[in-house]
Structure 1
């Protein structure tokens, strides 16, 4: 059994973290040739299908954030699937609150959300960070309308608000 000494976890990566009735979630078709690989990492639409961000993408291509399916069973992750399916449909958060993994930086309430678009060091394309030049390497772009709602938990999970 886990004991929470100082703080409960901020959430589960890719889960909508506040009232679902206040969120806008749209099902989209996954591009099976280039499917999104992580929940809580921004995606783009290419020819009407969801794809993960690619190196050098501009912030304007961000369409939304993949929502972790619930309920779902997985043999790799007790809290749900480790990655979205490679084909079919995927719910995408277009407006609302979501728990994501913070890859680098120290976030503060109403701090701008940045997403890595050029990998470097330990950071990969799609990682959420707190600046355009994150300490871990690479470069990032500011996501319009996306802000942190406070600091990350000890595991690096943090809540963002998007397009509100």
Structure 2
């Protein structure tokens, strides 16, 4: 799933040689915003087909369900809230990029759930304790790299 919490529109202003803010949509309603329309389209390289049925509005987000055509059509009742683990492909383990503290396992068996601190853990192939330079600057706090749950897969550079 892709969660979009806002969209902003800026127009180019040639007089100021810069952009001018026009509007912002915060997706605070459980339905499509006024003035927006749904559509079906194929990606430019033909790798995916986007269906209007695969977008729902939930908890202040526009949620795009990036799913196989054989999967259930999403609805606000079957789309997990942002940050919650989802049951994709029959797995009860966390997907890469999700907080795996609650499951203690990763859907991709080659990954391991490593703790950063008491508030975050992620599925990664390996983990080195300390600051990870690829974390956004506001989140550059040390990783403990303690394995959460049963572990399995991955490797740690812990001493």
Q: TM-score, normalised by structure 2?
A: 0.26
More strand by share: 1
Answer 1 or 2: higher relative contact order, Cα 8 Å, separation at least 6.
Answer: 1
Query: Larger C-alpha radius of gyration, 1 or 2?
Result: 2
Q: TM-score, normalised by structure 1?
A: 0.26
